[in-house]
Structures are given as structure tokens and as C-alpha cells.
Structure 1
Amino acid sequence: MPFDPRPEQPAPTGGAPSVTEEQRGASARSGLSRRSFLGASVAATVAVGATAQGLGSAASAQAAPLPSASAVVAPDAISWLVFDHHVHSVYSHDAKYPMTTILDQAQRFAVDAIAFTEHSNKGHANVGGVFNAAREIDTARAARPDMLVLQGLEWYIPGAEHATVLIAPGPQTTLVLRRFELDHDGKLNGWEKPRPGTEDAAEWLVHATDGIAWLGAQKRAGVIDDVIVLANHPSRLGIDSPGELRAWQDADPEVFVGMEGAPGAQAGAIAANATERSRRGEYENTASEFSFPGYPAEAYLTHGGFDWTTAVVGGMWDSLLSEGRRWWITTNSDLHLKESDATRVGDFPTGPGWEAGATLANFNRAGRRPDPIATDTPQNGADFWPGEFSRTHVGAVDRSSASLLDAIRAGRVWVDHGHLVAGLSVVLRATDQPETGVTLGGTLTVASGTALELVVDVTPTTTPTSRGTTPRLAHLDLIRGRVTGPVADRDEQRAPGTRVVEMLDVTDRSDSPFRVVVPLEPAAEDGYVRLRGSDGQVHGVGPLGAEIDSRAPQPYPVSPADPWADTWLYTNPIFISVT
């Protein structure tokens, strides 16, 4: 059947039908007008203290806002769901696959939940793409009741990189996504890549915080049930400054909850079109005039496949955690084009008004790409299927989208590459009170001097991956940090009190489930603990020295092009509050 570029629903005229009125009404009911959003964002930006060196070197220290406390969840009440929150289909201008193909592959790799986060574009917002995608998602939910399927958006953050926007399913989800895309997207509104320290940089940060605040207002007004935002591939271009990361969360910590700890495109260096410049995650850049000047050269490379912000112990992520921020990490496929897949992009119509090839203009006219066409030749592509290599494990209390998003906000998340382990449970508890245990994202409150222990249960992977090999976990590293409060410099990238405090060799324990109990020094101050592990094939001294991390993941070329030859796992932290 030839490709029909006509959308099933005509592009809405003016605002999306009733969405402008509904959402303005909701804002009014909550006492928040668009002007008050802007005012609040300006205030937040002033608090950041924008300066020529990156939004805050002279800012006074202010306590980081925290999300409201989640209900305490017993570790044994959790079910771990594999979630890929960053996936593109034919409704993105640079992707290739129909949703049905992607969902089939996701089920093949035991994915429990998936979000289609199409790129912002005129064809997506104005030619019916967002609405037709929603129809297909509704159909998928009915056909696959065991899989949670969400509609989201890959937001071009004004003045910065991309972000995942996830909204809980509901009657207003698609309308809110479209309104947000039109009003707050950096690409559609021309707010992209300002030079640091310019008026544009300060103004576009306001647009970004305004957008985050607007999403939170929609939730509080009852227009949508829930929404979260995560920064995507934060170090790829070096244009997400530390001050911006902090400002985005400060705009609404209930909404902006963290970042991709590892990008998608993990097959970038083994793709059919790979060159000497190709890298895991497609982190192939160097600093530009738009980059934050304080980032080192190694920030532009993945380290064991993970973003520099996450991989450096005592670095950017720990700097955020040491403020007491509930800042969580995830990973995902960022599926666009499967590596070595032999289908090519489908053909757009020809004739008046159509360009030759798979151009953005053609996409914006059609609202989607045509279905792919089979060939006998491996095509270009840097991605794995959802769940094939990168996995985010979310500790939900039930199998629902509401529980899924709530668990991410609560930090009940661990991530792995290459199916390094099949299962992981981490509980921090007082040694003499085992019933007090809390799991990832939680806070254990104890008296000063209380003896602590970390209980880690590992279920090894015992079946081959799509590569045909069976992974083996070689070690677990315990990382401990201090919570010292807000930073004086909003562009701070270091957490001097964080280091690897225990390295556990588990090579000979990867044949059957096992438990490790790690005694910790008695609690003396507020802090946190988190875990890291790997297959042990590649490691070395970390950027901040052996006394901080002597077994750190390494950047390319020490880390090989083949992602299966260097795999890691990370947990989110458990916090310690000392009374």
C-alpha cells in the first residue's frame, strides 16, 4: 500500500481544541497565570545568579528544594519493571520504525514499560503527528495489556540539550504535550545554543524554567495526573552547565527529577557506518563556543558507556547529591535506527511540493516518516532495541503508569548495560534493627553513632544475551558521600567528601543468586551510599585520583568500541539522615 501522507486528523487550528482554554482555566484556578509562571522563573534565575562564566559562580548558597516525601515503601513490596523511557518511532523525523515493530522487539527483550518520546517538530505538533501517535499508542495498550505504553516528548530545552518529558496517560495528555511543545520548545521557538554569559543564555534559561513550572502547574491543577522530566545525554555537547542543571530542578523538583546516567546509541562505534570518530553513545564532540567552559575534555566522552556526569566518583552527580538533591539517573535505548538492521527509510511521495529523499521538509508535510523497506544490506544505525542492551529497572508497587512515574520520582531505580545482572536488591539498615531497612531513593533516619550495614542481593544472568554471551558480574563498589548542603557556586562540579569505600570481588559468585552484607562505619553525619558494578574487563584510576576511585570506568580508547566488552551497573543512592 503506498504511503499516504495525509494525517487522519487535520492539524488543529489556533490552539489545540479546548486545550488553551482548559489549561489557562486550570492555571487560573491554581492562582498561576502565565505571567506569574514567568515571574517565578525569573526569580529562580536570579537565585541561580547568572554570570558570564555559567550561571552562578557568585551566587549565594541556597538550600536545594526537595520533592515532597514519597510514601515509605517496604523493600519486599516492590516489583522491578524494565522501563525504556526514550524511544523514537516513525513519528520522529530521524527514526525509522513503526510502533508495532518496536513494541514487538521490546517484548522480545522483556521490557515491561516503554515511552514514545518523539522529537518536537512542526510535523509532529501541527500536522497531526502527535494525535496520530496517540491513537496508535491507545491501540497498543489494548493489544498488549501486559505492557505499559506511555506518550512523551523529547523536549529541546531552551538554550540547552534535550530532555525526556513523560506524562501519565489521561484524557488531556496529548493536548498538554502539544501545548507544551508549541509554547516551550527551544527548537520550535528559536531558543537554541546561546553563547554562555550572553543575554540570550539568561533569557532562554527563563524559558526553560518557565516550561518546567508550567508542567508542574498542570499536575497541581488536575489537568494531568503526573509528569516528570529527565535531562537527556547531558554531556554530549557540553551545553548543559551545572548551574542550568540546578536551575531546572529548582523550577519544580516534583517534575525535574534527574538525568540519563548513560545515553542511548550505545552501538555507535560498531555501527555499519562507523568511522574512526564513532563512539559509544555518539559522544563524538569537543568543546564549542556554546559549551560550558568549565568542562574538561573527558566530559565529552562516555566512560564505560556512561555519561561523564555520572561516571566520575566525586564529580557532577555527587555534587548534586551532596547538596541533598534527590537527583536520579536512568538509561535507555534512544532508539532511532537499529545497528546493522537491513531495512531502509521508506519513500516519501514525489511530485509538486515534495523534496527528494527523507528530508525534514517532507516529514513536516506528512507528520511522520513512511514505513521502512526491506533490503539485503545492513543500514546505518547506532542503537539497540529497547531492553536489548540498556535497561532501567524501576521499583514500582504495582503495574501501573502512576506507580511507575511515582517510583522514578522516589529514586527506586537501578540501571545496567548488557544484562550484566538479572536482578538486584539493595537495602540499607541499622545493624541491630533489620526491620528498619530502606531501599534505593529512600532515607534512613538514625541516631549518631548507629552501626549500619548494606544488604545486597544479586541474581546473576544465566542465559545468553543477543550477542550470544552470558555476562558475569566481577565486582561491586560501594560509594559513600556526605550531604553538606547547598553550594556557594552554582557551577560546582565536585563533591570532595565522596569516594569508593569498599570494593568487593564477586567473580566466583555469579552462578547462582547470592547475598553480600557490607558493614559501614557508624553514622556520624548526613550522607548517602550508592553502588556500582562491572564485568571487570576495563577499569583504571578515576579522574580525581586513586584515593577517590582506583577502579573507575574509562573513556575511549581505553574503553573499547564494542559495548558488550565493557558493561557496568549503577544504583541510585540511599540517603542517611543523622539525628
Structure 2
Amino acid sequence: MLDPHHTSVPRGCILTGLAVFGLLCMGCMEESPPARFTRQIEWIGKGQWLKADTHLHTKFSDGAHTVSEVVARGAGHGCDVLAVTDHADRALGAATPEYAEAIEVARREHPNLLILAGLEWNVPPWDGDEHATVLMPAGPDEFLQLADFKKQFDDYGRDSHDAALADAALTWLALQVDRDGIAPVVIYNHPSRKDARSIENVADLQRWRGINELVIGFSGAPGHQAGEPLGAYEYREFPIDRWDPAAARVGDAWDALLQAGIDVWAARAPSDFHKVAPSGVSDYWPGEFSETWMYVPDRTAAGVLRAFHAGSFFAAHGHIIREVRLVVVAPGLERPAESGEAIEVAVGTDLDISVEGLVPDFDWSGMANRIDLVELIAITPDMARVVAEQEPASGTRLLSTTIPVPQGGLVLRARGRRRVADGPDLMFYTNPIRVVARPVEPAHVVRLPDWSRSQLLGLGLCALAVVSLAVSVTQRLNSKSAPP
């Protein structure tokens, strides 16, 4: 039989002590770090938008118009940035002293216009079948550098063709960084025009990016949008709603590269202007139909090249949209992430994603304008698909959705369309945002810091003292309440 006057420690006191011990442990546990940037564009929120066309031709190669005329027309169609990029065939006039003088004259004629000097490179080992835009940092040596590049590395008409020459060209270009750290830009043009399958572009871009990151990506939309066939695609692959299938077909080359961890930018829509003619093949003037909008740190040639490297640009056809922003909000992130950036977020975290932009009342032809559908594309380690689509209401927010971060992370890109009843739709595309997934431990696992034995002993003694105090208080209470 139990002694009714026996002093025992109530279970509640023991539980209280254990609870305090648990709280002490929890207080010492590390909380899951908030989302953070792993690649950040410093001018987001304080830059400016510039309209650019960085792929056009003049009489210095196979174009039909002078540099001054093409530049004047581009300025008239609202371009802030133009790059003269005549073919680099060694028998043509690009990168000659006359070429340099014509560009300098155009710069004097249009002091508020940014006119970049470049070339369209015949990329080894394909003779003249594959092309890339090469843009040099503006400066006293830009034309000498272009001439040197043309002489050493253009592949057209060579006696032999070797892919190693392209590797050497990229290595050489990496040495042409200017005193402010601005590097040249290389962009693969009309990538699927001569391909049997657009997915072939993956291997080419992987090779070039294995040398360095000067090849920032490819033209998601080819030029030659006024003629037939669209983009001058006459082989086996053809544009989808005016965009190269490498970008337009979900899961194709662009997504495969992103899936492989290679961040390339393809939200570019140049004119590839050659000529305007009353009959036969003709092009839209720079800026007339195709637009690439750059979000730059400042209105300089260097700012444009920095934006190309960063991925802070989008592209559209038909003047259907302005100031497009793909935005990702994550808990703890210092500000929303935007195209070209990368963030690290814990698995399972909900991301608030939006696509924002200004929709003009009228399109390039003066017709009433609208955006009919906006799509969000997600690329994970095992798939690429459209994960959200919305018909925009009025206002600047065109799409809004929430997605949890999966194991392995994801990459997000967006596009929008204006439906055209009797032809290909008018589209816009953004560059991607990468979301790196930070693993989280299961909830039942208690993760303690790396304590020394003395620290663990001290913590145990603290817990023991709490239990001892509870026992002492209980004994005093029992002694006072005991009968005399």
C-alpha cells in the first residue's frame, strides 16, 4: 500500500523539465536559411529599357542599302540600339577601313543612337552554313579587332574546315575584354535553319560554352519575317509562330540546355535586314516588326553588352508588348528575382510567380492590340512543360501563379501570344530564371549544431537543474500541506 504522505515528483514537473530541455535544444537549432541570390543583376529596378536590333546588313556585304540609310530607318522605327553586322567573308567589305568610317559617320549623324560595330561570323567548321553575330566592346581598337577576327577565324572559303578553329576564336575573343571588364558578345543566328533536327543545336552550344561563356545564346526568332518562307528556313525545320523550334517547341534545344545547367538566352528577335524591294524577297526595316528590348544599366554600348551577358532582355514581334518582366518572389529573398537571375530556395517553398508588361493599344500595323494568352514554362531535371497559362485581364499583371520548389530545382521562362486568325501568332518570349533547390531534412530529424562534449555536458546539467528545481518546489509544497 502506498504511503499517502510519500513525497514524489509529479509527472507534470518532469514533463516541464523535459519541455524546457526541448526548448533549449530548439533554441540552439539552426533555422532553414531564407532564399538567396546565387546570380544577381545589379541594375534591376534602376535600369532603363532600350529597343535594339543587333543583326542587320548593308552594302558592305549582301545588303542593298548604305549604313547611313539603314541606321536612319532603324532610328525612325524607334530603335535605340543598332548593330551593323555585315558578313565576315574575307572577300567582302566588313571590317575594312571603309566599313569603320561608314559606322563612324552614322554615329555622328545620330548622336543619341547607340551604334555597335560587329560582324556575322561564318562559324567553323560549316564553311558558310552557320552564322553568329559578334559584337565588340566600343573603343579605339574595335575595328582593328574586328578585322583581325575576320582574318583569323572566319570559315567561309577556307581550304579545310575544323571545329577547333571556333574554339580558338572564342579563346581569342576572351582576350579582347576592355579596360572596364566588358567582354565581346557572340549570338548564334537562325540556329535550326540548316539542321535536320533542331535538337542538334544542343551539342554545338555545349561545345562553345565549354570554352567560355561569350556565346550567350541564340536568336530565338530568326529575321527575314517579311518573306516566304519565314526566316528563310527551307530545309527540314521551320519556325513555329515565327520562332525557331529550338525555342518555341517546349522541351527542345533551349530547354535541354537549361536542363543541363547551361543558362543560355534566346529571347532575341532581330530583323536580319538585307533589303526592301518593290518585288521579290524583302525584309522589314530594323525595328519595324521585330523587337528586342534590353534592360540596361545605362544608355551606353557597354551597358548593352552587359545586358546581353546578363540575360536582361526580352523579344517580341508586331509591337504587341512593352517592359515585360518575369518575376519570382520567394520568402526571405531581398527583392523579387527577374529574368537572367538565379536563386537558391529550400525544397517545398512556394514561389509566387508573375509575368508583367505593358500592352499597347495598337500593334505595329495600327490595329487594336491585345495579349490573348500567357504561358509559364517550367524545366525540371526530368521534364519541360507549360505549368500555367492565363488569359490576361486588364492591367499590367498578365499571369500570376504559385509553384512549390521541387527536388532538383527548376528553371522558369514565359511567353505570350496575340492570336492571328489567318497566319502565325504574334509572340513574345522572356529569358529564364533559375531556381536552385536547397535540400531540407525530414521534419522528424532533430539537427543539433556541432557541440563539444563540454557544451553538451553543460546543456545536460542545465536540464538536470530544471528538474531538480521542480523536485525541490514540490517537496516544499508537500511538507507544508502534510498533516501535523
For this structure pair, what is the TM-score category when the shorter chain's length is used for normalisation?
0.7 to 0.9
Among 104, 111, 115, the alignment partner of 2:72 is 104
Among 271, 289, 293, the alignment partner of 1:333 is 271
Q: Which residue in the other structure is 1:476 paired with? A: 374
TM-score by length of 2: 0.77
Q: How does 1:372-387 map to 2 (within 5 A)?
A: 378-387=278-287
Q: Which residue in the other structure is 2:250 paired with? A: 313
**1:266-298: CA deviation from partner (whole Å, max 9, x where unpaired):** 1112xxxxxxxxx11111124xxxxxxxxxxxx
**Secondary structure of residue in 1 paired with 2:235:** coil
Distance in 2, matches of 1:379 and 1:122, equals 30
Q: Does 1:429 align with 2:322?
A: no
Distance in 2, matches of 1:241 and 1:190, equals 25
**Secondary structure of residue in 1 paired with 2:242:** coil
Q: CA deviation at 1:89?
A: 0.9
Q: Which residue in the other structure is 2:35 paired with? A: none
Check 1:571–1:120 CA distance in 2 against 1; reply closer, same or farther (3 A cut): same
Q: Which residue in the other structure is 2:175 paired with? A: 217
Among 115, 120, 123, the alignment partner of 1:154 is 120
Q: CA deviation at 1:70?
A: 6.4
Check 1:129–1:399 CA distance in 2 against 1; reply closer, same or farther (3 A cut): closer
Q: Which residue in the other structure is 2:233 paired with? A: 283
What residue identity is the alignment partner of 1:477?
Answer: E
Distance in 2, matches of 1:284 and 1:335, equals 18
Determine what percentage of the aligned residue pairs are the same residue.
29
Moved more, 101-110 or 241-250: 241-250
Q: How does 1:359-438 map to 2 (within 5 A)?
A: 378-430=278-330, 432-433=331-332, 435-438=334-337
Note if contact 1:534-1:566 (Cα within 8 Å) is conserved in structure 2.
Answer: yes
Among 81, 86, 103, the alignment partner of 1:137 is 103
**1:411-437: CA deviation from partner (whole Å, max 9, x where unpaired):** 11211111121331221111x447431
Distance in 2, matches of 1:151 and 1:78, equals 23
Q: Which residue in the other structure is 1:167 paired with? A: 136
Check 1:172–1:321 CA distance in 2 against 1; reply closer, same or farther (3 A cut): same
Note if contact 1:446-1:523 (Cα within 8 Å) is conserved in structure 2.
Answer: no
Q: CA deviation at 1:379?
A: 2.9
Q: Does 1:535 align with 2:394?
A: no
What residue identity is the alignment partner of 1:306?
Answer: W
Distance in 1, matches of 2:99 and 2:318, equals 30
Check 1:470–1:123 CA distance in 2 against 1; reply closer, same or farther (3 A cut): farther
Q: Does 1:120 align with 2:88?
A: yes
Note if contact 2:226-2:284 (Cα within 8 Å) is conserved in structure 1.
Answer: yes
Among 210, 228, 236, the alignment partner of 1:250 is 210
Corresponding pairs, count? 394
* Structure whose CA Rg is larger: 2
Distance in 1, matches of 2:363 and 2:252, equals 34
Note if contact 1:173-1:224 (Cα within 8 Å) is conserved in structure 2.
Answer: no
Q: Does 1:505 align with 2:391?
A: yes
Q: Does 1:234 align with 2:93?
A: no
Note if contact 1:326-1:411 (Cα within 8 Å) is conserved in structure 2.
Answer: no
Check 1:522–1:577 CA distance in 2 against 1; reply closer, same or farther (3 A cut): closer
**Secondary structure of residue in 1 paired with 2:305:** helix
Q: CA deviation at 1:174?
A: 0.8
**1:235-285: CA deviation from partner (whole Å, max 9, x where unpaired):** 1111765322211121111x111101011001112xxxxxxxxx1111112
What residue identity is the alignment partner of 2:404?
Answer: E
Q: Does 1:575 align with 2:473?
A: no
**1:376-412: CA deviation from partner (whole Å, max 9, x where unpaired):** xx13233111111111111111111111111111111
Distance in 2, matches of 1:433 and 1:242, equals 35
Distance in 2, matches of 1:129 and 1:412, equals 28
Check 1:444–1:224 CA distance in 2 against 1; reply closer, same or farther (3 A cut): closer
Distance in 1, matches of 2:418 and 2:92, equals 41
Distance in 1, matches of 2:180 and 2:406, equals 43
What residue identity is the alignment partner of 2:376?
Answer: L
What residue identity is the alignment partner of 1:169?
Answer: A
Q: Which residue in the other structure is 1:352 paired with? A: none
Q: Does 1:206 align with 2:164?
A: yes
Check 1:155–1:394 CA distance in 2 against 1; reply closer, same or farther (3 A cut): same
Note if contact 1:70-1:410 (Cα within 8 Å) is conserved in structure 2.
Answer: no
Check 1:427–1:75 CA distance in 2 against 1; reply closer, same or farther (3 A cut): farther
Check 1:72–1:244 CA distance in 2 against 1; reply closer, same or farther (3 A cut): closer
Distance in 1, matches of 2:239 and 2:363, equals 25
Note if contact 2:416-2:428 (Cα within 8 Å) is conserved in structure 1.
Answer: yes
Among 56, 59, 72, the alignment partner of 1:90 is 59
Note if contact 2:247-2:253 (Cα within 8 Å) is conserved in structure 1.
Answer: yes
Q: CA deviation at 1:124?
A: 3.4
**1:338-368: CA deviation from partner (whole Å, max 9, x where unpaired):** 2xx3xxxxxxxxxxxxxxxxxxxxxxxxxxx
Distance in 1, matches of 2:369 and 2:341, equals 29
Check 1:131–1:306 CA distance in 2 against 1; reply closer, same or farther (3 A cut): same
Q: CA deviation at 1:223?
A: 11
What residue identity is the alignment partner of 2:60?
Answer: Y
What residue identity is the alignment partner of 1:570?
Answer: Y
Check 1:303–1:137 CA distance in 2 against 1; reply closer, same or farther (3 A cut): same
What residue identity is the alignment partner of 1:97?
Answer: H
Note if contact 1:87-1:333 (Cα within 8 Å) is conserved in structure 2.
Answer: yes
Q: CA deviation at 1:572?
A: 0.6
**Secondary structure of residue in 2 paired with 1:325:** coil
Q: Does 1:176 align with 2:145?
A: yes
Distance in 1, matches of 2:350 and 2:323, equals 27
Q: Structure 2 unaligned runs (5+)?
A: 1-37, 439-484
Moved more, 71-80 or 178-187: 71-80
What residue identity is the alignment partner of 1:75?
Answer: I
Among 403, 424, 439, the alignment partner of 2:338 is 439
What residue identity is the alignment partner of 2:401?
Answer: V
Q: CA deviation at 1:100?
A: 1.8
Check 1:521–1:129 CA distance in 2 against 1; reply closer, same or farther (3 A cut): closer
What residue identity is the alignment partner of 2:367?
Answer: T
What residue identity is the alignment partner of 1:264?
Answer: G
TM-score by length of 1: 0.64
Report the RMSD for the aligned CA atoms in angstroms. Answer: 2.2
Distance in 2, matches of 1:283 and 1:124, equals 24
